Structure 1
Amino acid sequence: MTKQAGKRLQWIDALRGIAAIMVAVVHLSLFVKESIVTHPSAAYYFIVTDFFNWGKIGVVIFFLISGYVIPQSLYRSNNKNFIINRLFRLYPAYWVSILCFCVLSTTSPSFEKLLFNITMFQKFFGVKDIIGVFWTLQIELVFYIICITLHHYNLLRNSKFVLKTYYILLVLSIVMAALRFVLHVKLPVSLFTGLTIMFLGMLWRKNDSGASNTISDNVLSSAIFAFIAAFLPISILAYSKNFGNNETWYSYYVSYLTALAVFKLFSLVNYPGRVLIYLGSISYSMYLLHPVFGIILPLKIWPKTYLQDHPYILIISFWICVLTASSISYFLIEKPFIYMGKKLISLSKKKSFETAL
């Protein structure tokens, strides 16, 4: 069923905020468990990290949102303007997060590592992320490149082609998981599952908008259930062996399915409230900055031994620092550069119009 655009954007904005909060909660919880608290609550960690993993849930929600909204940006624009928009949207806050890490962290990255991380494509060159959360952004960039290519060849609006691509990516996810299991090599299964999720978000939008007769309720339901069925063997094959991150297949499976359920529930909400909408507006900065301002900065302010004796100080300071830094980044970095990107696009359109005359 078609929703009003305003309502649709509001629940999407709210979901962004929820997703960023969930990722931040997991990283705070893991730091407290590993470095601050001697006897952490088993029940709490069962719910937040061990069985349900809020970080994975948040990431999958972000991927669904990208699939839901990014193609729409291309429909209303051209590839050149889309690229300008994305560059001014993503890179300034991203570079600021790297700068903040370099200033506040006790360990500085090598020049080579810094240089590759500035591109946001570092993992494709075999270079580690300066901040761990950067890995998802590289999957986002791959999705953008795919969407730009499909848009160039007039395939992005082709619902049948998008549907076929979704199932191809799902099959490739199974193949990569099987190869990872058989070869005992940490192959990038998350790249293919992430892209699959994004294409599912794209199908979801086509169904919600009512613009495609191909993506009916039954077709979308079949696509969702196909993912639910296929992701069980994917999880078992890819994540039943520990490659150093204490991964468990059941946590992956439950978390991905929970993300789908949360996405569906929020799509039914007409007005999620101003607080969640605001958190959605600062969600990108929150995602980038929470490891720096939530963990590194408090350790600069208080000795680790003090925080071990007073863990609530870390928790309170985590959220104060993260929300403050994210708000400052949004208003002083994100918004001005987004505006600059729009102005550049507007000037480009004006110049093209004058040239045509």
Structure 2
Amino acid sequence: MPHSNRLLELDALRGIACILVVFFHFNVNQPDAWHWLNLGVAGVDLFFIISGFVIFYSLERNHNALDFFVSRFSRLYPAYWVAVCITSALVLLNGGTVHLHDFLVNLTMLQGYFGVEDIDGSYWTLGIELFFYCLAILPFITNTVKWVEHFIWISLFLVYNWHYWGSLYAPGTHAKISNSAQFLNHAPLFFAGIFFYLIGFKKATPDRYFGVLCCFILSCYLHNFFGRSQWVITIQEHVWMLLAFFGTFFLLLSHQLGFLVNRVSLFLGNISYSLYLIHQRISTEIIRPWLQHHLLPHMPNLIYSLIMLACSIGVASAINFWIELPAMRFLRQNWKRLKTKFEVKQESVLPL
């Protein structure tokens, strides 16, 4: 697979993953919803695999840990802060409650580690992503990238043993820690993304293919261990979704996903982060009740879902266009200028 600044197929996959999650949230617990839409709960699994793939790609392109930190911060936080503020304001205007303490802690994106409720239910994955970023950058900081596959194998072994033996002999402690450090419940998906990256961009080896297989098996095993999917779909349904996601990445590596790339999928991929952040609570707690009680009572759930999707895409597009992209450009460009200025100053004080 050739290197490129942006893999269009991955952008399309982001858009698809986001739509899966969005329609799941719009239809969950609705009496006339189609059950198969519940399969969208597994869309976050696809996001996690994509993250494992993309973050390693990004790490190898950044020159140091600070470059990576600025890159991730500029990508995640400005749009997130705006989404938190918009959601909080609309909930308050609608007569709901958002405590100041919860609001401030949510701004850190680390609320899950402090036992604070997410202002929007979709935020639960963000703390997991941040944990993975911190974990992924360690080999680059410690100059041990060549050992990264060994670290993954050790991590997979530890994750399996933690869940197997912990649930048997220390169920209380196991549950408490697994609920706080939720990366433990989804780690194989991120590691699968890394293996896919190594196969596609480095070298396809039997060990790496076997690594993908182990990640798949362990992800299936973890269905019943504190993931969200276990409450919505059966393990059989989850396994089929995971098969589809892992199979999709094999198609990606063999250049067979070009048919997914079009204006719609790329547009959804571009706004997927903002759409993910803004769609759930506003739609299900404000827009749907307003539609049901005032504007369009007694309509099929599909109609409500399409209207909520249109509203969510509109707000997400505005956040993406006015906040996410400009803030990302501004922060990254100023960081480059600051680095250049610092390097020039360093050179000017070097002895002749």
Asked if 1:206 corresponds to 2:206, the answer is no
When the two chains are superposed, the root-mean-square deviation of aligned CA atoms in Å is 2.7
Partner of 2:133: 144
Query: Displacement of 1:100 after TM fit?
Result: 1.5
Residues 76 and 224 of structure 1: CA distance in aligned 2, closer, same or farther (over 3 Å): closer
Match of 2:323 among 313, 327, 333: 333
Asked if 1:122 corresponds to 2:105, the answer is no
Q: Which amino acid aligns with 1:73?
A: S
Distance, in Å, in 2 between the alignment partners of 1:286 and 1:122 is 20
Partner of 1:228: 216
Match of 1:345 among 308, 312, 335: 335
% identical aligned pairs: 27
Match of 1:195 among 171, 184, 187: 187
Match of 1:295 among 280, 284, 289: 284
Distance, in Å, in 2 between the alignment partners of 1:59 and 1:146 is 19
Asked if 1:155 corresponds to 2:153, the answer is no
Query: Displacement of 1:290 after TM fit?
Result: 0.8
Please give the secondary structure, in 1, of the residue aligned with 2:98: coil
Distance, in Å, in 1 between the alignment partners of 2:229 and 2:269 is 33
Partner of 2:55: 70
What 5-or-longer segments of structure 2 have no aligned partner?
Answer: 348-352
Query: Displacement of 1:316 after TM fit?
Result: 2.5
Map Cα deviations across residues 158-188 of structure 1 (whole Å, 9 max, x no partner). 1xx2222222222233233322466263634
Distance, in Å, in 2 between the alignment partners of 1:55 and 1:263 is 19
Map Cα deviations across residues 26-58 of structure 1 (whole Å, 9 max, x no partner). 001115x1xxx4xx36xx30x221xxx2221x2
Alignment of 1:1-357 (within 5 A): 2-5=1-4, 9-31=7-29, 33=30, 37=31, 40=32, 44-45=34-35, 47-49=36-38, 53-56=39-42, 58-77=43-62, 78-105=64-91, 106-156=95-145, 158=146, 161-178=147-164, 179-180=166-167, 183=171, 185=175, 187-188=178-179, 190-210=182-202, 212=203, 216-236=204-224, 238=225, 245=231, 248-267=234-253, 268-270=256-258, 272-299=261-288, 301-304=290-293, 307=296, 309-311=298-300, 312-357=302-347
Map Cα deviations across residues 308-332 of structure 1 (whole Å, 9 max, x no partner). 5013441231121011111111000
Q: Contact (CA 8 Å) 2:121, 2:281: kept in 1 or not?
A: no
Q: Contact (CA 8 Å) 1:293, 1:321: kept in 2 or not?
A: no
Distance, in Å, in 2 between the alignment partners of 1:193 and 1:257 is 18
Q: Contact (CA 8 Å) 2:191, 2:215: kept in 1 or not?
A: no
Please give the secondary structure, in 2, of the residue aligned with 1:154: coil
Query: Displacement of 1:204 after TM fit?
Result: 1.1
Q: Contact (CA 8 Å) 2:278, 2:315: kept in 1 or not?
A: yes
Partner of 2:350: none
Distance, in Å, in 2 between the alignment partners of 1:270 and 1:253 is 25
Q: Contact (CA 8 Å) 1:24, 1:290: kept in 2 or not?
A: yes
TM-score (norm 1): 0.84
Distance, in Å, in 1 between the alignment partners of 2:67 and 2:223 is 38
Distance, in Å, in 2 between the alignment partners of 1:61 and 1:103 is 31
Q: Which amino acid aligns with 2:329?
A: Y
Map Cα deviations across residues 271-330 of structure 1 (whole Å, 9 max, x no partner). 611221111100000111111443334246434376550134412311210111111110
Query: Displacement of 1:246 after TM fit?
Result: 5.2
Greater CA drift, 293-302 or 96-105: 293-302
Map Cα deviations across residues 103-155 of structure 1 (whole Å, 9 max, x no partner). 22232221221121111011111112111111111111011111222211112
Greater CA drift, 161-170 or 276-285: 161-170
Q: Which amino acid aligns with 2:139?
A: L
Q: Which amino acid aligns with 2:130?
A: L
What 5-or-longer segments of structure 1 have no aligned partner?
Answer: none
User: How many positions carry a matched residue from both structures?
Assistant: 333
